[in-house]
Amino acid sequence: MTHSTHPARVAIVTGGSRGIGRQSAERLAADGLAVVIAYASNDQEAQSAVAAIQTAGGLATAVKVDVSDEQAVAQLFSATEQTYGGVDVVVHAAGIMILKPLVEFSADDFDRMHRVNVRGTFLVNRQATRRMRPGGAIINFSSSVVELALPTYAPYAATKGAVDALSRVLAREMRGRDITVNAVAPGPTATDLFLDGKDAATIDRMAKMNPLERLGTPQDIAEVVSFLAGPGRWINGQVILVNGGAV
């Protein structure tokens, strides 16, 4: 296969089958990137995301991967290179959220969340640094809750604080590579992950935390991902709070 048959730029989006990840994948495809949607379990959702991108005229494939599995993450990058010729953008949106007061938290739940959110970020970023072409961007997902310090979020916020630290240091380790590393930290956003288990009063209260008095949408977050993946080259080593001014 000659080089000319490959798309100009290629993105891997973990957690790309739903919520903010899916919206980011669709936006990057609309920006002209070929997109590999990495997803954990739901084949139907992943194929639906691929179909939506293809219907809109974009290039996309899906790869099932456990981001906490070292071999699986390496295979994800190999499959992307085999299909599209390289990797230019990595959007790491895969993550899980378990909420309850720290005193009630089980060690198993704590470990499971760290395995996906922290180890997963480490493994995906490590492969990205090994494989990415110059001019690339690594975009990790943090959370505004690191700053907001909301009750029941302590272990989750701890995983995202780790993502912040990893992103900031990695940006400096990429010196000379022309690769940016940033973290996007959404506030309350209308996704299944956020809405699940919350009553209307809680959702309304959280929507009013910011001066714009609404929840974020996945599209709001995807705008920032698109910017960092493309024109926003001079933003590097930052944690960007994307929350309508909640903090």
| Residues 101/150, Cβ–Cβ less than 8 Å | no
DSSP 8-state secondary structure symbol assigned to residue 152: T
Residues 6+ apart with CB under 8 A from 126: none
Chain mean position to CA 130: 19
| Residues 195/202, Cβ–Cβ less than 8 Å | no
Count of alpha carbons within 13 angstroms of residue 127, beta-carbon side: 28
DSSP letters for 232-246:
-TT--S-EEEESSS-
Q: Is the dihedral angle over the CA atoms 182, 188, 191, 196 positive or is it negative? A: positive
| Residues 222/26, Cβ–Cβ less than 8 Å | yes
Active centre residues (catalytic): 156
